[in-house]
Amino acid sequence: MARLILPYQSVYDLNGDPISGAKMYFYGSGTTTPKDTYADSTLVTPNTNPVIADSQGQFGPIFLSGNYSCKLTDSNDVTQPDYPAEIESSVDTSSTVLLTGNQTVAGVKTFTDKLAVKSDEATIELEENDASADNRITQLVVNGEKFTLRFSNDSRDTFRDIFTVSASGNTVEFEGTDVIINGGKLSYDNSLSSKFKAGDIGAEVELVNISTAQELTNKTLPSPVIDDAISGTAVQDDDSFTSPSATKIASSESIKNYVDTQTGGTSPSFSAHKNGSNQSVTAGSFQLVTFPTEEFDTTGDFASNTWTPSVAGRYILTATVQYTNLNVGNDRQLAIYKNGAEYKTDFQNQVNAGGDESNSFSIIANANGSTDNFKVYTRHNKGTDGIVDGNSKYTFFTGSKVS
Is 158 contained in some domain?
no
Q: Highest mean pLDDT range out of 48-62, 80-94, 276-290?
A: 276-290
**CATH code at position 378:** 2.60.120.40
β-strand pairing of 103-105 with 108-110: antiparallel
Phi-psi label, residue 368: left if phi above 0, alpha if psi -120 to 50, beta otherwise: alpha
User: What integer best gives the mean pLDDT of the chain?
Assistant: 80
Q: Could you count the other beta carbons within 10 Å of the beta carbon of residue 393? A: 9
Domain-embedded: residue 166 = no
Q: Which residue has the higher pLDDT, 122 or 286?
A: 286
Residue after which a domain boundary falls, among 97, 120, 143: 97
CA 308, chain centre distance (Å)? 46
Alpha carbons 311 and 402: distance in angstroms, whole number: 11
Within-domain flag for 394? yes
Q: Which of 97, 129, 155 lies at the terminal end of a domain, its last residue?
A: 97
26 within domain boundaries: yes
Q: How far apart are CA 38 and CA 45, in angstroms?
A: 5
- Comparing CA positions, the residue from 280, 291, 272, 278 lying closest to residue 379 is 280
> Is the model's pLDDT at 199 over the cut of 50?
no
Query: What CATH number corresponds to the domain at position 28?
Result: 2.170.14.10
Write the pLDDT tens digit of every residue in 292-322. Answer: 999 999 999 999 999 999 999 999 999 999 9
Give a yes or no: residue 378 inside a domain.
yes
Residue 194 lies in a domain: no
CA distance 79 to 235: 67
User: Where would I find the H helices in 68-176?
Assistant: none
Q: Provide the domain count of the chain.
A: 2
Whether pTM exceeds 0.75: no
Instruction: Please answer whether residues 361 and 334 qualify as being in contact, where contact means their C-beta atoms are separated by less than 8 angstroms.
Output: yes
- Within 13 A of 98's CA, how many CA atoms are on the CB side? 5
Q: Quick one: which H or E segment has residue 260?
A: helix 252-263
pLDDT digits (tens, 9 = 90+) for 314-368: 999 999 999 999 999 999 999 999 999 999 999 999 888 777 899 999 999 999 9
Most confident region among 184-198, 199-213, 297-311 by mean pLDDT: 297-311
Average pLDDT of the segment spanning 83-91: 74
Residue pLDDT, tens place only, 112-137: 556 666 666 777 777 766 656 667 77
Condensed to tens digits (0 to 9), the pLDDT of residues 150-189 reads 877 766 667 777 777 876 656 666 654 444 455 544 544 4
Q: Is residue 365 part of a domain?
A: yes
Which structural domain, as residue segments, surrounds residue 49? 2-97
* Whether 172 contacts 165, CB under 8 Å: yes
pLDDT in tens, 372-382: 999 999 999 99
Beta bridge partners of 366: 314
Residue at 121 is within a domain: no
Where is the domain boundary, 97, 128, 151?
97
